[in-house]
Homo-oligomer: A and B are copies of this chain.
Amino acid sequence: MKTIKSIGTMRKISLSHLRNGEKIGFVPTMGYLHDGHLSLLKKSKQENDITVLSIFVNPTQFAPNEDFDSYPRDFKRDEKLAASEGADYVFYPSIKKMYPDNFSTFVESETISRILEGEFRPSHFRGVLTIVAKLINIVMPDIMYLGQKDAQQAAILTKMAADLNFRTAIKVMPVIRDKNGLALSSRNARLTKNDYITALQLNKTLKLGKNIAEEIGDVNTKRLTLQLKKYITEFGDIKLDYIACRDCITFEEPVNIENKTYILIAARVGKVRLIDNMIVKPKK
């Protein structure tokens, strides 16, 4: 495995693999790798000739009051993990090279980026779209792998790839959870023991929602989210940002769950903001 810090070198490598007719898989990450990232890496290894994993904590997707500084980082550990999973290249550029002085071009999305995460983190998706456009242009992948934990992000990036005609296909892989059901996230490293117990409530709430919709058959989304809000806010230590039901592709809010629908949740537990989601498939 090679670690590449230069944008120019990464592009040359990708272009040469592309010219060799090899298929390039790409896993963009902000590092502090966990089994969620590694599941993407494994899938990319299976489906491509070459796999590139990028590690870049992207400043433009954090607002000034957010956790850019405290976001966990451990490059040496990440490098070992990526190597042991068989990544061919780790792309690890500097902030200064990715955002030189006078950087002034951004990719923006209307509609999906304004709701949910976009409401609580107004410039977040602009930062995500811009960095991913940059990374795709440098790595030139055939397939990019994203985790379903960031479902809204995955939907917005899938829309970007279609709208801007990137040749890259996007695959969204299932949420990976720990043995207690907590969705893996690099931010979990910052949970205290008590916070961890509280955080398990997110998954429980989603499971309850899925159960109500799929087993009980109560698919009215207003009633459902109201019920789940009541359930989760009984835990005083959780500050809920939102619970919402959204169509898996359009991210529109259905009146009743009739197609594949996400139940999405965002909440602050201690100093950590967590998101999670679950797909509800109505019985037809």
Chain A positions near chain B (C-beta within 8 angstroms): 7, 11, 15, 18-19, 21, 102-112, 129-130, 133-134, 137-138, 140, 159-160, 163-167, 250
Contact = CB atoms under 8 A, between A and B. Distances in A.
A253 to B, nearest CB: 16
Contact of A110 (B11, B104, B109, B250): B104
A157 to B, nearest CB: 10
Given A102-B111, A108-B108, 4 more contacts: A105-B107, A107-B107, A134-B163, A134-B164
This chain: copies in complex: 2
Nearest to A110: B104
Contacts of A19: 18-19, 21
B164 A15 contact: no
A185 to B, nearest CB: 26
Nearest to A11: B167
Contacts of A112: 104
Nearest to A166: B137
Contacts of A102: 111, 250
A159 B250 CA distance: 32
A164 to B, nearest CB: 5
27 contacts: A11-B165, A15-B167, A18-B18, A19-B21, A102-B111, A102-B250, A103-B163, A104-B109, A105-B107, A105-B109, A105-B129, A105-B159, A105-B160, A105-B163, A105-B164, A106-B107, A106-B108, A106-B109, A106-B110, A107-B107, A107-B164, A133-B133, A133-B164, A134-B163, A137-B164, A137-B165, A140-B167
